[in-house]
Amino acid sequence: MVSNQMNMVKKIIHYLFYFILLTNIYACKTYNLVPEKENIPKHNFDINLSGEIPSYSKIKYWVEHPEKENHYASLPENYTDTLYNSNPEMDVFFIHPTLYFKGNRWNADIHDKNLNKEIGNSTIKNQASVFLGIANIYAPHYRQMHIQSYYDMENGLQAFDLAFSDVKNAFMYYWENNNKGKKFILAGHSQGTNHSERLLKEVILKNDNMKKLLILSYLPGMPIKQFRTDLTPCISPNQLNCFLSWRTLAEGYFPKDWEVSDSISCINPISWKTDTILSKNENHLGILFQNHKIRYPNSVSVYNSKGVVWIKPIKIPFARFYRMKNYHIADYNLFWINIRYNLRYRLKENGYH
């Protein structure tokens, strides 16, 4: 009798442990989460309320930078990389997604210590970290626009312009002071992908020197269509000088407010192809959980459908108790190891070491 009770207790603890892990897989919150009225700005956009313009010559305005004393980016606790390079020959410029969900300003306060810490502990630790030991990570703080900007176009566009002005200034400072002729990767997620796309259109692809050094762009989490003939979507696992984009949803689900179309670029982040063939579970290398550990290889299979990646039910303990329709918040975490290994493969196949 006692033995049976102990087994039951163990099962409950086991269940609770994995439920907590499941509910904390993610590195950021979804951009189509409509905020409560009390958490949104009560006034129209006002440039005078946007706060101090960050000066990127000061290290404090970078959430991640090779010269910072303390780093948020780290490898998963149970993952060993024998190829780790502490002094990479290339860079990644990473633009974080929206984490500003509550506030009475249309753009986040660049000096908000709690928000800045959350950015580091979430998206830098769980998303930008995929490039650690392969590229030097440059990730600026910027006055990101409030999540409500996606639902209030008049104010939102002004907030977006302001946020982008910071991103552009940060990139130009990086380019003029840190790049020094190195190849670089551009990467972001969600709002960060929006800014990345604009940065490509308005700055990088208009500058021959920048364009020559850009080797890959990661643009997940938003509907991205080919916008230049000289920057095509990646269509194979070993291709460089192209861009990668995907959005992850449960099989059969399309959000009502999402644009879905075969014209939207989408790559399978396991097979790294643009066809509609279902990837094999055996090719999935593991999920990065919020406890910063890689768990459950062979648990995910996906396929492309009308500009999104549809994911089959995840094969992990107690997954039936916590299923989602929209996996936007896990676009990196679900495929962290696959992203990292594929980047290494692309570089090796093209002569980089």
For 99-128, write each residue's pLDDT tens digit: 999 999 999 999 999 999 999 999 999 999
The mean pLDDT value of the chain amounts to: 90
Q: What is the pLDDT of residue 33?
A: 58
In which band, very low, low, confident or very high, does the pLDDT at 257 lie, cut at 50, 70 and 90?
confident
pTM of the full structure: 0.91
Question: Which stretch of 10-19, 54-63, 126-135, 343-352 has the lowest confidence by average pLDDT?
Answer: 10-19
- Reported as a single tens digit per residue, the pLDDT across 142-201 is 999 999 999 999 999 999 999 999 999 999 999 999 999 999 999 999 999 999 999 999
Phi, psi for 311 (deg, rounded to 5): -105, 135
Q: Domain-by-domain residue ranges, the chain? A: 2-349
Nearest to 190 by CA among 252, 99, 302: 99
Nearest to 254 by CA among 314, 204, 309: 309
Query: Rounded CA gap, 293 and 283, in Å?
Result: 19
* Separation in Å, CA 194 to CA 164, 314, 343: 9, 28, 22
Residue with tokens 């907590």: 20
Residue 219 · residue 193 · CB < 8 Å: yes
Query: Rounded CA gap, 237 and 346, in Å?
Result: 7
Q: What is the mean pLDDT of residues 13-38?
A: 45
Residue with tokens 């163990």: 10
In which band, very low, low, confident or very high, does the pLDDT at 311 lie, cut at 50, 70 and 90?
very high
Query: Rounded CA gap, 145 and 162, in Å?
Result: 8
- For residue 22, the one-letter residue type is L
Nearest to 186 by CA among 224, 158, 217: 217
Residue 256 · residue 275 · CB < 8 Å: no
What residues form DSSP beta bridges with 233? 243
What residues form DSSP beta bridges with 327? none
Nearest to 269 by CA among 249, 252, 291, 247: 247
Q: Is 262 exposed, middle or buried (0-12, 13-18, 19+ CB in 10 A)?
A: exposed
User: SS3 for 192?
Assistant: helix
